[in-house]
Structure 1
Amino acid sequence: MASAAIVAGAGLASPAQAAPKQTAGKVTRYDRATLRPAADVSGVLRRKMDTAKSDFVESHARRGRNVDSRTVDVYTDPAQSVIVAAGADEAVDGIDLGTVDGVHVAAGVRTHQTGVVTNPAASAVVGFAGAPTYSEYVQDGSGYHTVTATNDADIKIGGTVNFLESWYWKYVLPEAKEANSFGSAMRSGSDFYVYARRGIADAKSSGTSLVDLTIRSRPWGGTSGNLKKMLYSAPGGSATSCSEQGAIGVGYGPASVKIPRSNCASVTQVTSTGSAFEFGADWDGDTSDQIAIEAIASYQAVEGKVPSFADYIWATFDPGLLSSNKDVKWTDTGW
């Protein structure tokens, strides 16, 4: 059977990150009647749920198990923390979300077999749906770009186009909120911004694997003078474990922005940068499943100047022993 799988979700920490000191645990149960099917949503969330369905079907296909996408149901919980897909032979009865000290650390799906067994089981495809959460900051812009063969012909291997997508979110701290987090000297002549990124890649070709994924951001060409200082960026250093129980973020006082982190292992800070304001994340490995990585940075900007950022995403796909690796890159024109 094609068992139900959590194919996307908010920042769930691995068991290793569930620190023994944190004892304020809670499980929130959402029954079937409270779940939202893909047909009831629109916009970015609908695109994510449609992508989750495709990932569910393709995860089975890579293992030689055919699933008819028309028989796949996709749901999200009321808080849009996770996305769950299930095949025709298994009905979703509910979603359970576990938190420790208010941070998502686990998710479970309650199901029952329908009696119509049409597809063998497959392992779950795990990714994340959550956009950043923020306090006191205000979202100032967001968007994404899906890399196509027009951008870089190497994304196509054989007859299949691999998947590569770049996301961004920008936030500004209203002047009325600045004093809650920064002293008068810091606020003088300054505004405060946060910029967050996610990169998603999937080696969709049979026999092809993803071996590298990198995202970077820096000021749009010629606009570095709009910024005074990068205050903080994450991920930092060479650490390969999640921070903050599965999320990375920036914050001073009550003002903060946090983005759910999709991967904890083999994700490091980018080290070679062309700007003092550049930040990013790098993943290295070897997988046929979807990989997503996140990065975030906060800035002190010149008062009255609105910073603009240029984005970069790079993926390396390995077609196998008889072919050389394919490097795929996309950058904003301001890079």
Structure 2
Amino acid sequence: MIQARDMTPAELAALLAFHAEAGVEWLVEDDPVDRVAAFAAEKAARHHARSASTPAPTQTPSRGAPARGGAPSERQPARAQPAQGSALPAIPDENAVAEARFAAESARSLAELKIAIEGFTSCNLKTSARSTITAQGTGSSGIMVIGAMPTADDDREGIAFSGRAGLLLDRMLMAIGETRESVVITTVIPWRPPGDRMPSTPETAICRPFIERQIALAEPRQVLVLGNFAARFFFGETGTIHALRGKWREIGAGGHAVQGMATLHPQELLAAPASKALAWMDLLAFSERLKPAQNG
């Protein structure tokens, strides 16, 4: 068994990164620890401390005085209320969707839309996210690549498809003669959901005007949709990515219709490398349709 002391700092950092991506939250100690017994001992200690700190009653309440708790000022204080301004005001979902639609339609360029999304405050996902992810790239190839939502790497770097998944996407694009700069890359949801959970239905509805406006302003000839969530979002179906992949479908976005094809997300390919053959077939079919336009 390899010990931590036998590893270099770089090897340790790579191992920790691997565990974090795999969802590991606890490290195992060298010696076993009885967590149940430790919790019981801690609970007993807290109970003993509370009993020792509780003063004995020194007098009987006089007639007319409160029977328990003494004077109002001596009673246990009421539960603290959240500080004013500590959270965004609750906004009905339909109002937030209308606000998002107005902000999106008011933008006349991707740069203006980026500012509008960054200034939007009616989606709860933004309160916990570090970065706002919007369309990047020149789009000179006529290709737009759309994933589901930012990952922890994306949120930290402020760029869609960062980290290992981003490196794999770069290789996938290179395989069809494209680069990250020659396409437009973005995500359906501009903010990373807490704990990488799936966005709720209201949250998805609020974000829809923003991604549709990004498509309309980018005006791609073809859209490559990555992963289950994005494929279901655009195609309105409930099948898995294995059922939805490899087929051309029309995507409508604010009066702009474009042909789109779904394939597996790079993160899914990292988890199941055997599926890379399927993704390669999809990429070949995707790039084949671009050839007439590129040659023309």
Q: Same fold (TM over 0.5)?
A: no
The structure with higher relative contact order (CA 8 Å, sep 6+) is 1
Q: Normalized against structure 1, the TM-score is what?
A: 0.25
Q: Which of the pair is proportionally richer in strand?
A: 1
Q: Which of the pair is proportionally richer in helix?
A: 2
Tell me which structure has the larger Cα radius of gyration: 2
